[in-house]
Structure 1
Amino acid sequence: MRVLFAGLSEKSHLYCQVPLAWALTAAGHEVRIAHSPGLTDVVTGTGLVSAPVGRDHALHEAMSLAPESQDAEIANWSRLGPGEADWPALRERYELSVPHGFALYNDPVLDDTVALARSWRPHLVIGDPIAYAGALAARAAGALHVRLLWCADVYGRARRTFVDLLSQAPVDERVDPLADWLDERGAPYGVVCDEELINGQYTLDTLPPSLRPPSALQTLSMRYVPYNGTAVWWDWLREEPKRPRICVTLGTSNTEAYGGDYVSLSETLGALATLDIEVVAALHPRQRAALTDVPAGVRLVDDVALHTLLPSCSAVIHHGGWGTYSTALINAVPQLALSTTVADLEWRGRSLERAGAGLFVHHSEADAELVLRHTLQLLDDPGFASAARRLRDESAAMPSPYDLVTVLTDLVAGR
């Protein structure tokens, strides 16, 4: 079987694909990773086969010039379910998101991705939920199209709400910016947009079912398996911590894209240093260089993969990123997310709160006193650890990427 992965050209998104891509490779299938040229070294560093297409997007430059965009309501996809958004608001969301988000990611690689698929003829295309270049390529090549989520499926949920409201809107207001854009981009290849093209035939979801938004899509569960690139199990990680160990990580993607962090790292570390705990701050080199004063009892690391660190932690304080959130879930680590509402961050943060396994705070409210108070909550209330263990067990019961290879092979054969 030939399998083409077509995600957004972001390192964090690629890392979500690696475990399944390697499971398919190890099972003897041919796997190619389509991506923009700037990601070539990252892809080849995973040991997978790189297929550069198109040109690099310029979203990071735009994001660094407008850091306030991470707090814009237009970027929040967590509150777009039935009854949460009216027709004018949801229509505006698509009118702005298509040209200023979806198209900026997809247009630079779309034509080359379709050309690659039509020449190589993959049997299966696995793509991000908003990697519409992959969706068009799958349709143009007659391949099975499966979405692999890096988020709670707020995009699928919003689309279902949009379609329902579209059918009820006044006739002169019935516009569909996403379908119009996909129709225009698919026309040279004889591809017409429909809901199956947007949503794929199937969706692979690595969130535990209890944390997912309601969905009517054909969903396949797959256990989250972390991939962090280069990983070393350092000797100090093999020893039992003498005090409760807290991990602080504010991510790398946000630092690289926006040029800064959601919260003050120095204030966060300063607050935690007053507790009788061990603090491990997993930092990007740029974050480490910006720290002028490191409190006693804080270990700074920039060479530790989270899946080697979090099993020894009593709690994690982070920016809400998918990799950190999911790695904490499978290791039963209570979480304090100091984050924004962009994409699905609010949904995941609030669902974690409802499950009793963590706390979600908008970064604008995250001062030193709040960090201190919430960290003590996570450490002192055994309910957080108990709920985190329930979510870990729920995740562990899901099929592994290895298990999904047979499922995907059977679905392709069934076509």
Structure 2
Amino acid sequence: MRVLFVSLSEKSHLYCMTPLAWALTVAGHEVRVASSPRLTEAITRTGLTALPVGRDHDIYRDMTAYRDSQDYKTANWSRCEPGQVDWSELRERYELSVPYAFAVYNDSMIDDLAAFAQSWRPDLVVRDPLAYSGAIAARISGAAHARLMWCEDVWGRTRRTFLELMESVPEAERVDPLADWLTSRSEPFGFSCDEEMLHGEATIVSLPGSLQRLPGQSRELAMRHIPYNGDAVVWDWLRESPKRPRVCLSLGSSNTEDYGGDYVSVPDILEALADEDLEVVAALLPAQRERLGEVPANARVVDSVALHTLLPTCSAIIHHGGYGTYATALVNGVPQLILSTSVSDHEMRGESLRDSGAGVYLHHREAGAEEVLGQVRRMIAEPGFTDCAERLRAESAAMPSPHELVPVLERMVANR
């Protein structure tokens, strides 16, 4: 069958898709991966076939200009249940998110993607939950349609809460920015927005069941997270067991590349841990390294290490809350200290991990050097953190692999 993956122009989102795209490829299916042109090189470096569509957008300029937007109330999608939010707050969330995020990511891709879907006729579309352009392509081609999650389904649960709350609002005051936008983009092709377009026929989830707080809005298909971090080398220093507890410090790439900098200080954290009997491995981008001063004697700074090669040797990780880092630590049974903003589902993700006993979640404004030091000491000294992390690792390992999901998707297409 022909399978079209649609990703936002974010490497971390693409990397969550890569193992399933390869599982379908080696099963004999034709696979194409569509995104904005800026992601083309990242796609081709995975070995998959890229489909550049539309033009590049300028959302990153706005992200850098409005760094605090990650902590705006409207950016926190973790609060999505009735009782946590009211109608006016959700309306404002959609009124800001649709034109300034969803539309910016998707609008430039729609026409090219639609034309490709009409000519190539995919049998299955697997899309990022925010790649609504993929939903349009699926409807145009009559393809089966699944979302692949890199997060809790806060988008689907928010939508459900929004519709429930809208029923209590006078009809004259009812607005639906998401449906109105997607309908305006779909009408040229002869249809309008409906809930299946928003949620897909199926939702592929990689979180272990004990960490999921939200019910799915479409049929759920479980798939174990397989870490993919781009270029990977097992360096010689990784082939020997560390002589002291090893702690990884990784703040990812998106905040530095998209928002103009990290939300916590790498030098402050390294200094706070300098006198501990630890080996700290700081996996940093070149731009992050440039901001460093003198590196403490117990720290190793690296910029070319894939986390799935490093984390099996670690006793703990300090990171920014990104899903790729979070899930890679999860499947390796590593306790996590998350220092994050409240954007997207980060708050819910961090609180779920905290409640599982496998880590600690702090908002970045609470993450002073002394607090970080104290939490790292706890995670190293208290075996409960490792025990709980190992339990989550085992739960994740019991989930179906991408290879095992392939026949499920084949049946979904055949049944359609």
Asked if TM exceeds 0.5, the reply is: yes
Paired position in structure 2 for 1:315? 316
Paired position in structure 1 for 2:194? 194
Q: How far has the Cα of 1:211 moved from its partner?
A: 1.0
Q: Where does 1:13-162 land on structure 2 (aligned, <5 Å)?
A: 13-162=13-162
Q: Distance in 2 between matches of 1:211 and 1:58?
A: 34
SS in 2 for 1:399: coil
Tell me if structure 2 keeps the 8 A contact 1:56–1:108: yes
Q: Distance in 2 between matches of 1:252 and 1:88?
A: 34
1:107-129 Cα distance to aligned partner (Å, 9 max, x none): 11111111111111000000011
Query: Residue 32 of structure 1 aligns to which amino acid in structure 2?
Result: R
Tell me if structure 2 keeps the 8 A contact 1:150–1:322: yes
Q: Distance in 2 between matches of 1:61 and 1:257?
A: 8
SS in 2 for 1:83: coil
Q: How far has the Cα of 1:65 moved from its partner?
A: 1.2
Tell me if structure 2 keeps the 8 A contact 1:5–1:125: yes
Query: Residue 318 of structure 1 aligns to which amino acid in structure 2?
Result: H
Q: Distance in 2 between matches of 1:268 and 1:228?
A: 24
Q: Distance in 1 between matches of 2:147 and 2:167?
A: 25
Q: How far has the Cα of 1:92 moved from its partner?
A: 1.3
Matched, 1:291 2:292: yes
Query: Residue 105 of structure 1 aligns to which amino acid in structure 2?
Result: Y
Query: Residue 242 of structure 2 aligns to which amino acid in structure 1?
Result: P
Q: How far has the Cα of 1:231 moved from its partner?
A: 0.2
1:226-257 Cα distance to aligned partner (Å, 9 max, x none): 10110001121111111000000011111000
Q: How far has the Cα of 1:383 moved from its partner?
A: 1.0
1:62-94 Cα distance to aligned partner (Å, 9 max, x none): 111111111111110001112211111111111
Moved over 2 A (4+): none
Q: Distance in 2 between matches of 1:75 and 1:259?
A: 18
Paired position in structure 1 for 2:177? 177
Q: How far has the Cα of 1:385 moved from its partner?
A: 0.7
Paired position in structure 2 for 1:326? 327
SS in 1 for 2:55: coil
Q: How far has the Cα of 1:290 moved from its partner?
A: 1.5
SS in 2 for 1:372: helix
Tell me if structure 1 keeps the 8 A contact 2:74–2:89: no
SS in 2 for 1:307: helix
SS in 2 for 1:316: strand
Q: How far has the Cα of 1:147 moved from its partner?
A: 0.1
Query: Residue 278 of structure 1 aligns to which amino acid in structure 2?
Result: E
Q: Which moved more, 1:82-91 or 1:198-207?
A: 82-91
User: Unaligned regions of 5+ residues in structure 1, if any?
Assistant: none
Aligned pair count? 415
Paired position in structure 2 for 1:412? 413
Query: Residue 242 of structure 1 aligns to which amino acid in structure 2?
Result: K
Q: Distance in 2 between matches of 1:78 and 1:29?
A: 36
Name the TM-score, length of structure 1 as normaliser. Answer: 0.99
Paired position in structure 1 for 2:7? 7
Query: Residue 171 of structure 2 aligns to which amino acid in structure 1?
Result: V
Q: Distance in 1 between matches of 2:132 and 2:153?
A: 15
Query: Residue 248 of structure 1 aligns to which amino acid in structure 2?
Result: L
Q: Distance in 2 between matches of 1:88 and 1:66?
A: 23
Q: Where does 1:182-261 land on structure 2 (aligned, <5 Å)?
A: 182-216=182-216, 217-261=218-262
Tell me if structure 1 keeps the 8 A contact 2:244–2:278: yes
Q: Distance in 2 between matches of 1:368 and 1:323?
A: 24
Paired position in structure 2 for 1:400? 401
Q: Distance in 2 between matches of 1:183 and 1:162?
A: 17
Tell me if structure 2 keeps the 8 A contact 1:153–1:213: no
Query: Residue 275 of structure 1 aligns to which amino acid in structure 2?
Result: E
Q: Which moved more, 1:6-15 or 1:167-176?
A: 167-176
SS in 1 for 2:221: strand
Paired position in structure 2 for 1:270? 271
SS in 1 for 2:151: coil
Query: Residue 259 of structure 2 aligns to which amino acid in structure 1?
Result: Y
